[in-house]
Amino acid sequence: MNQEEIWNAAAARRYDTPGTGMFAPEVLGPAVDRLARLAGEGAALEFAIGTGRVAVPLAERGVPVTGIELSPPMVEQLRTKADESRIPVVIGDMATAVAPGTYTLVYLVYNTISNLLTQAEQVACFRNAARHLGPGGRFLVELWVPELRRLPPGRKATVWECSPGYIGLDTYDVLRQHVVSHHFRFDGTEQARLYRSPHRYIWPAELDLIAQLAGFELESRHADFNGNPFEADSGSHVSVYRLPAAP
């Protein structure tokens, strides 16, 4: 599975779930609020902008937003909401593609850095963020904490959701720090639809070291966009890294 195959036209068409899931106001609102505060009077760059879930409402708040996105079908969905003059997008890999201009904020939300399947690519992503930022610029990363404590000895999979019409499970390759998320959707028939996505999971401490290699320092870490404290049992984190200010 490569990312171009995963984020195809079919995936792009079903990605948006207005008002629910990651598009729910209680999920999206705090994220946009926090990003707007961090961007301040400057411009923001979103890595893996997708269909504009975050970029569109952030632009509506008056923040100039540019995106980098690997999948043309995802950008086609974004274009139904905002044209190129409003939210310009560079088609390419977030680890290497370059957008014009300098930004006060680069952000990467909803676990998307884990779509890069090697540590080297993840390091390159941080360096690419630094390349786009001015002195004192910030890079925000939203990421889940690996759930290996839920993995019994000898087992390779965990079920993380089981609800009517849906089962979600993850299979782990702990040697390579890889996990494949399996999403099974089914109805009253004997048929089920399967969607899979591979990831390389990153521990918070490893993420901090990757940031240091790119010249960043950790400025803050919370459990979510609401600012709740990050604790030992937190399932995710929102981490903000900052470049040194100009002398």
The rounded distance, in Å, linking the Cα atoms of 74 and 96 is 19
Residue 152 pLDDT greater than 90, yes or no: no
Q: Which CATH architecture has domain 3-146+202-242?
A: 3-Layer(aba) Sandwich (3.40)
Which pLDDT score is estimated for 21?
83
Which pLDDT score is estimated for 246?
77
Which pLDDT score is estimated for 149?
81
**pLDDT tens across 61-117, in order?**
999 999 999 999 999 999 999 999 999 999 999 999 999 999 999 999 999 999 999
Which pLDDT score is estimated for 212?
98
**pLDDT tens across 166-194, in order?**
999 999 998 899 999 998 988 878 888 88
Tokens standing for residue 220: 């803050």
Average pLDDT along the chain: 93
Tokens standing for residue 181: 């998320």
Task: Map out the domains of the chain as residue ranges.
Answer: 3-146+202-242, 148-198
